[in-house]
Structure 1
């Protein structure tokens, strides 16, 4: 019996895969890319939440006992996700772990619809609600502006965010998938500190030995700079809206979920910055 990890090319699923591999637990990474694109040689299958033929092929060849679900970037993602849950349940899947976000609310459009469906379906489940990933700062866009321009551009102003590492999210997901007793609840997966981008810039300045500046933009200016960077206007508005909400302390919060589930506290941003300083030094 295997565990299916959707979002095989994302930040968390490959990390969950590494933990399962280390524990010699069978799993499959599901990816819209070809199977040869598997992360670090992990077993990978073709899986596309918007293509039902990839669902049926998967169950024809493999017995799945649990599924890790990531939100696909498609319109109304809860529609195919809920349909997949129904199919998987009929095929014997008895546990689902959904990685949602801070804004997920039961029954609300988005992952809240999937969360509601899991409860109504009577399956074992866990909904992870992490805050913003530390790894966003080493993605190409921010790696470039920090590495080359010594700047971080946001519309988050002085909003506080409990940045969390993808490694900690993956470890919580691993336990939610494999622990004998299902959690059947949601978990706020948050970092140890509520940090502003000014504080992020201060930490990076210390680690890199040069001044990193947080440039505060208004909503229109932030959308414009993201569009200039190559994002679609829709996605630029979406990301900017998240930053505007963060400026109002929407993300701010505390949680002991990481330590309670994994037995250790979540990684600090200072440690993350030290471990990844080569990314910003080489750009």
Structure 2
């Protein structure tokens, strides 16, 4: 079955969404459903959750990532797409027309350069709306995702910029799941920095609405969890839930960087993580946002709820 036929097979009637047990309740929804939605970072945490919401709502989508179908969830349409290889950019457009694109920052130096170039590429092919998952420190025109944000405004595009802090779900990824589950520890350079950890479920929920509502938001949303927590607090909550002592091990920035590199993390990404943790230690993440409730109508998930849902991930072998 061709990819185009696969999309049509999955979504035979996209003009009649929100039926059955998987319907998503939204107040007075008006949705754009004329074309497919392209999800970059297609195998990442937010894009795969977002794809699940779109599928439940019967809205066509296409996942785009460097490994394409090889790592996509079973049955989800996907293509190979690499921000650093412009020859792959046309591949999604060979299979569908797109109304909107969900954009995730690639872990490469000066990521805004290929992202801006791709926006222009997509504009020429009729894409009208862009939803960007940035970070809390993003600001219009600032190096990083602020450059992408500025480009949306300069070209009068429909857009929404999501500014989440650290993901709760990082703790369930293989590296941290192992150190928590088997070594009973979390190592960071965050010291006593406060963080409003947010669930990927909430980010995806906001992104879903930003991509599909009839009238584009054309603004940013600070998306956060409901509370400010240190990594000491995280370790304490995990200890209580798991019934054993979980320790937050404090390290300096250079040690953190070197540890990540030795674990196989690319140098650019390792430096990015270490720098973010040092900024967090200085209070860079100490603020709450109301984006989840403002957009979705429900409060964000608490860390306690997240731990209860995922306790089995950190169980001792």
- TM-score category, normalised to shorter length: over 0.9
Q: Which position in structure 1 is the counterpart of 2:52?
A: 18
Matched, 1:90 2:124: yes
Matched, 1:142 2:191: no
Q: Kindly tell me the number of residue pairs found equivalent between the two proteins.
A: 283
Rounded Cα–Cα distance in structure 1 between residues aligned with 2:271 and 2:106: 18
| 8 Å Cα contact 1:17-1:27 kept in structure 2 | yes
Matched, 1:122 2:128: no
Gaps of 5+ in 2: 1-34
Rounded Cα–Cα distance in structure 2 between residues aligned with 1:97 and 1:268: 25
Gaps of 5+ in 1: none
More helix by share: 1
Q: Which position in structure 1 is the counterpart of 2:61?
A: 27
Rounded Cα–Cα distance in structure 2 between residues aligned with 1:84 and 1:236: 25
Q: Which position in structure 1 is the counterpart of 2:115?
A: 81
Q: TM-score, normalised by structure 2?
A: 0.86
Q: 1:209 to 1:249 in 2, by over 3 A?
A: same
Out of 130, 153, 167, the position equivalent to 1:133 is 167
Structure 1: 4+ residue segments shifted above 6 A: none
Rounded Cα–Cα distance in structure 2 between residues aligned with 1:38 and 1:60: 19
Out of 59, 69, 72, the position equivalent to 2:93 is 59
Q: TM-score, normalised by structure 1?
A: 0.96
C-alpha offsets along residues 160-185 of structure 1, whole Å, 9 cap, x if unaligned?
00000111101100000001111000
Q: 1:218 to 1:7 in 2, by over 3 A?
A: same
Cα distance, 1:60 vs structure 2: 3.3
| 8 Å Cα contact 1:8-1:39 kept in structure 2 | no
Cα distance, 1:234 vs structure 2: 4.0
Rounded Cα–Cα distance in structure 2 between residues aligned with 1:234 and 1:122: 32
Rounded Cα–Cα distance in structure 2 between residues aligned with 1:226 and 1:47: 26
Cα distance, 1:229 vs structure 2: 2.7
Matched, 1:241 2:275: yes
Q: Which position in structure 2 is the counterpart of 1:252?
A: 286
Cα distance, 1:237 vs structure 2: 2.7
Matched, 1:2 2:33: no
